[in-house]
Amino acid sequence: MPGGEAASGGWSAIAGALSGHLLAAGLVAGFVAVSAMFLIWWERKVSAHMQSRLGPMRVGWHGWLQSIADALKLLQKEDIVPARADRPVYWLAPLVVFVPAFLAFVCIPFGKTLIPADLNVGLLYILAITSVGVIGIFMAGWSSNNKYASLGAMRTVAQIVSYEVPLLLAVLGVVLMAGSLSMQSIVSAQTGAWFILLQPVGFLIYITAATAETNRTPFDIPEAESELVAGYHTEYSGMKFAFFFVAEYTNLFTVAALATTLFLGGWHGPLLPPVVWFLLKSYSVIFLLMWLRWTFPRVRVDQLMSLGWKVLMPLAFANLAVTALVILLFNGGTR
């Protein structure tokens, strides 16, 4: 029957598309898991050598199996829930933190054709989806019924909301120069010169704001152990705690991948395959962020907020205004 054949073809197309999406999701999930374990091990080694130590050495060659051992240990840990916790919110919080970090990989261009989905608003999608994670952090602190966790969650909201504004303004300068929100279009616009050469102030603002967005030293106020025990995830154990940890390092790679795409030419580079160039640049940015973490002391809350609103914000507006003026004067007739 013609109708039956059409229906069969339609279902086959749907099944094929679904299989492709599931395969892409599985590959991204595998990369996220391996990358997070590698970054945990790498940060331990980087911090150790900066402090004249060896770091993990006994589990595998130079301790490279230590992250796998930690994952197995967390799988076997007892899942403890506070007696007065808001259980549904408490259970959902780690997923609300992890899932947006995972979904951000949909629009990250690892190569010219190596991208799960090249959306025409890819950059907007990444910035929007990564902002959802702050809701999960607040859920974790509030549902734990713990004053230290609640304070850490409220600090997170204040910090991330404050630093998102200069980060977005720094990114807008790149969008103006590329004339597109598509991640691949932004990379293609850097064939002549990387945007870090044309937007050095924007890059510095982005790196500073991204460090605060990922709650890393010197901006790790939400989980300051000397003040808040461990902050918003004080009451979490086992795999729930592991979700927070994996999300943190997944976000670390995401901000580095964004810096690579927006300012460092993305996957462009000679001789080596595009994906190798992209990963080299991304892990170089991650090394820079680790270097900052183990170099600077933690700032106070008032210093954190003052830097965001009184320094980065005016600087970001000035950078955006100058960028728009230059584009208007030199490219106004061609756009």
Q: Which domain holds residue 186?
A: 80-331
The burial class, CB within 10 Å (0-12 / 13-18 / 19+), for 319 is buried
pLDDT of res. 1: 47
Tokens 């120069």 belong to which residue? 177
The reply to whether 117 and 238 lie within a common domain is: yes
Taking phi over 0 as left and psi of -120 to 50 as alpha, with beta for the rest, 228 belongs to alpha
Q: Is a pLDDT exceeding 70 seen at residue 127?
A: yes
**How far, CA to CA in Å, does 225 sit from each of 70, 137, 302?**
20, 16, 18
Of the candidates 12, 47, 76, which is a domain's last residue? Answer: 76
pLDDT of res. 72: 87
What would the mean pLDDT of 256-282 be, rounded to a whole number? 92
Of the candidates 76, 109, 143, which is a domain's last residue? Answer: 76
The reply to whether 32 and 1 lie within a common domain is: yes
The reply to whether 44 and 86 lie within a common domain is: no
Other Cβ atoms less than 10 A from the Cβ of 104: the count is 26
The reply to whether 68 and 99 lie within a common domain is: no
Q: How many domains does the chain have?
A: 2
CA 254, CA 241: separation in Å to the nearest integer? Answer: 20
Of the candidates 30, 60, 76, which is a domain's last residue? Answer: 76
Q: Which of 296, 301, 317 is nearest to 159 (CA)?
A: 301
Give the pair of three-digit tokens for residue 62. 């130079």
The reply to whether 111 and 129 lie within a common domain is: yes
The reply to whether 86 and 17 lie within a common domain is: no
Q: Is a pLDDT exceeding 80 seen at residue 9?
A: no
What's the whole-model pTM score?
Answer: 0.89
pLDDT tens digits, one per residue of 280-325: 999 999 999 999 888 888 888 888 899 999 999 999 999 999 999 9
Is the separation of the CB atoms in 136 and 228 below 8 Å? no
pLDDT of res. 2: 54
Lowest pLDDT segment from 55-69, 214-228, 259-273: 214-228
pLDDT of res. 199: 92
Categorize the per-residue pLDDT at 56 as very low, low, confident or very high, splitting at 50, 70 and 90: confident
pLDDT of res. 259: 95
The reply to whether 238 and 104 lie within a common domain is: yes
Q: Calculate what percentage of the chain has a pLDDT beyond 70.
A: 95
Q: Is a pLDDT exceeding 90 seen at residue 262?
A: yes
Query: 123: Cβ–Cβ under 8 A, 6 or more apart, which residues?
Result: 107, 171, 175, 181, 182, 183, 186, 262
What would the mean pLDDT of 26-34 be, rounded to a whole number? 84
The reply to whether 245 and 312 lie within a common domain is: yes
The reply to whether 50 and 85 lie within a common domain is: no
The reply to whether 186 and 233 lie within a common domain is: yes
The reply to whether 4 and 71 lie within a common domain is: yes
Lowest pLDDT segment from 158-172, 194-208, 230-244, 316-330: 230-244
Cis peptide before 218 (omega within 30 of 0): yes
Q: Is a pLDDT exceeding 50 seen at residue 334?
A: no
Per the prediction, the chain carries an average pLDDT of 86
The reply to whether 45 and 129 lie within a common domain is: no
For residue 255, give the amino acid letter.
V
